[in-house]
Structure 1
Amino acid sequence: MILKDQITNIFVQVDDFCKEFEAQIKKMKLQALGDRKKRRNRTSLMSDSEIVTIMIGFHLGAHKTFKHYYKEVVCGYWKDLFPKSLSYNRFIELQQRSFVVFALFLKEKCLGKCTGISFMDSTTLKVCRNQRIHNHKVFKGLAERGKSSMGWFYGFKLHLVCNEKGELLSFYLTKGNVDDRDLKHIKNMTQQLFGKLFADKGYLSKSLWELLFADGIQLFTKLRKNMKNHIMKMEDKILLRKRAIIETINDELKNHCQVEHTRHRSVNNFMMNILGSLTAYCFFPKKPSLNLKKVNDGQLFLNFP
């Protein structure tokens, strides 16, 4: 269970961002000048910062279902921290209203910065078992069948980019049948990247390599058996072998943060679950990282005439 000091620290950061967000919204005159119709603007008992904090705390804890977490921890152990907590059903209805501020908080305050060394990979998000595809209704028309190294699945793909420190740089959600080498979503994910990008064989593509190279990014992947070998620096070979760092991140997102489960009953809550998982990972005190140091071995080289 998360300590009260930890959840309080998270709430302070989220609340500061929400106050800044609300101040910016007030400056922007979103209402049309000709629209003089009075609109109700009733405030809820729970603020957006409280809702976002509760969502993050669920993915940092050990509970497997949100219902037990909310009733036992939020309404019980953390009752003094959230004195105006809503009922479980009402909270589920209202949590989606915080989607915009939640997504902006993740993008502006949680994602890391590119250091010139990045790793890219995708992971599957199953929404149901394969035997229940024909009876599934929640994501009908949205989810698609796809195939990964683990076999066929029905759902979505979560594409991630991280640096050598284990910090997430960008993410992208697509349908399950979208190719990893799709130029459109790769272009969106790599807008803030530079330097070297390491990926697996699933990203082998000449057009993709040329697209990234034009943006100042050099793509490194392993070669297939029927391909000719290319000269590569030793440091690049070592970094390519260390691509397991992003596989570890995918494992933590699925097994600890529960980014994937088949109990969704709403598309909006599915998106909130993804935001909560990614944000919770960014608050991990220890992330999988590479301790990279360039060592000068002090060897003496003589140039003979």
Structure 2
Amino acid sequence: MTDLFCIVDEFCKEYDQIVDKSLLGNISKRPPRMSKSEVITITVLFHLSGFRTFKYFYIYYVQKHMQSEFPQTVFYNRFTELMQSNLMPMVTFLKTCCLGKCIGISFIDSTPVRVCKNKRIYTNKVFKGIANTRKSTMGWFDGFKLHIIINDKGEILNFTITQASEDDRNPLKKERFLDKIFGKIFADKGYIGKELSKILFIDGIELITNIRNNMKNCLMTMSDKILLRKRSVIETVNDELKNICQIEHFRHRSFNNFLTNIISGLIAYSFLPKKPAIKYNKF
């Protein structure tokens, strides 16, 4: 927790300096009781604590057992407002301090992020007009898709959030999503497409996937075949994001709260001491 707070606090100091220079005019506003670094630290710490409900974590753990670390805590409702107001600093912190580096071998996949149970799809009002319904390999769901790219060390290189009906190949057509990606990208059969392969080839990226039953066989190096079999590492990352970092639950009361939960969960994943990785000495 101390290391996390120090890293976040150093970032918040630089972030405030940049934001203050960009403000127009003199805006006098009473500062909140809790600082940005404290709010972000507590929000990220929840995903590493093992608690399943943030309200219980904040009221019964932070306010009772962490008074020495956070002496100026506020009421729970006020803290949820501070969480949503610090969404932009959290996204900036994730993009600048928590992403890994590409070494030429990357894996991409998308995972559904459900916002409600299937029985409540037609009665859910929080995400009305924002989320939509789509069928995945695990059945129908209502929500969004989280697209992530990881390296062979299990570090997240980039991410994006789309609607559930979005094609998995569309994010790869955006330059910002592949800004710092090069080399080879290993994906499943859902990313097969001649047009997409041509676009990535022009940018210096080689897309490697398995072939469908009705497709002609193609030549592939032995190393690419082995790495393609190791693509399950990204499935393990998605599993840890949902079951350990808890980026998916059905208790959202606003769209901003949904985004805050996902961003803080991705930040928490970057601080996990051990991530799924490929061991090259075994093949």
Range of TM-score over shorter length: over 0.9
* Amino acid in the other structure paired with 2:253: R
Return the alpha-carbon distance in structure 1 between the equivalents of residues 146 and 282 of structure 2: 33
Listed one character per residue, the Cα deviations across residues 126-168 of structure 1 (whole Å, up to 9, x for unaligned) are 1111221111100000001112111111100000000000000
- 1:14 corresponds, among 2, 5, 8, to 8
C-alpha displacement at 1:27, in angstroms? 2.8
Return the alpha-carbon distance in structure 2 between the equivalents of residues 86 and 294 of structure 1: 51
C-alpha displacement at 1:185, in angstroms? 5.6
Return the alpha-carbon distance in structure 2 between the equivalents of residues 16 and 191 of structure 1: 26
- 2:32 corresponds, among 44, 56, 69, to 44
* Amino acid in the other structure paired with 1:270: F
Return the alpha-carbon distance in structure 2 between the equivalents of residues 188 and 9 of structure 1: 30
- 2:270 corresponds, among 282, 299, 305, to 282
C-alpha displacement at 1:294, in angstroms? 10
Return the alpha-carbon distance in structure 1 between the equivalents of residues 135 and 208 of structure 2: 23
Match in the other structure for 1:31: 24
Return the alpha-carbon distance in structure 1 between the equivalents of residues 18 and 102 of structure 2: 27
Matched, 1:53 2:41: yes
Identity rate, percent:
51
Return the alpha-carbon distance in structure 2 between the equivalents of residues 203 and 137 of structure 1: 32
Return the alpha-carbon distance in structure 2 between the equivalents of residues 276 and 202 of structure 1: 28
The answer on whether the counterparts of 1:183 and 1:208 sit within 8 Å (CA) in structure 2 is no
* Amino acid in the other structure paired with 2:185: L
Listed one character per residue, the Cα deviations across residues 115-135 of structure 1 (whole Å, up to 9, x for unaligned) are 100000000011111221111
Matched, 1:157 2:125: no
Match in the other structure for 1:4: none
Return the alpha-carbon distance in structure 2 between the equivalents of residues 168 and 215 of structure 1: 20
Match in the other structure for 1:216: 204
The runs of 5 or more residues in structure 2 that have no matched partner are none
Return the alpha-carbon distance in structure 2 between the equivalents of residues 188 and 248 of structure 1: 25
| 1:1-305 → structure 2 map (5 Å cutoff) | 7-28=1-22, 30-31=23-24, 39-182=27-170, 186-292=174-280
The answer on whether the counterparts of 2:241 and 2:269 sit within 8 Å (CA) in structure 1 is yes
Change over 3 Å in CA distance of 1:233–1:68 after alignment to 2? same
Change over 3 Å in CA distance of 1:108–1:171 after alignment to 2? same
Return the alpha-carbon distance in structure 1 between the equivalents of residues 30 and 113 of structure 2: 36
Return the alpha-carbon distance in structure 2 between the equivalents of residues 229 and 46 of structure 1: 60
C-alpha displacement at 1:188, in angstroms? 3.2
Match in the other structure for 1:35: none
Q: Looking at CA atoms only, which structure, 1 or 2, has the larger radius of gyration?
A: 1
The answer on whether the counterparts of 1:199 and 1:220 sit within 8 Å (CA) in structure 2 is yes
Structure 1 ranges of 4+ moved more than 6 A = none
In structure 1, the residue corresponding to 2:86 is in which secondary structure? Answer: helix
* Amino acid in the other structure paired with 2:69: L
The answer on whether the counterparts of 2:33 and 2:72 sit within 8 Å (CA) in structure 1 is yes
Return the alpha-carbon distance in structure 2 between the equivalents of residues 100 and 257 of structure 1: 20
Listed one character per residue, the Cα deviations across residues 72-127 of structure 1 (whole Å, up to 9, x for unaligned) are 22101111000000011110122111111111110100000101000000000111
The runs of 5 or more residues in structure 1 that have no matched partner are 1-6, 33-37, 296-305
Report how many aligned residue pairs link the two structures: 283
C-alpha displacement at 1:293, in angstroms? 5.2
**TM-score normalised by the chain length of structure 2:** 0.97
Return the alpha-carbon distance in structure 2 between the equivalents of residues 110 and 134 of structure 1: 37
| Backbone CA RMSD of aligned residues | 1.5
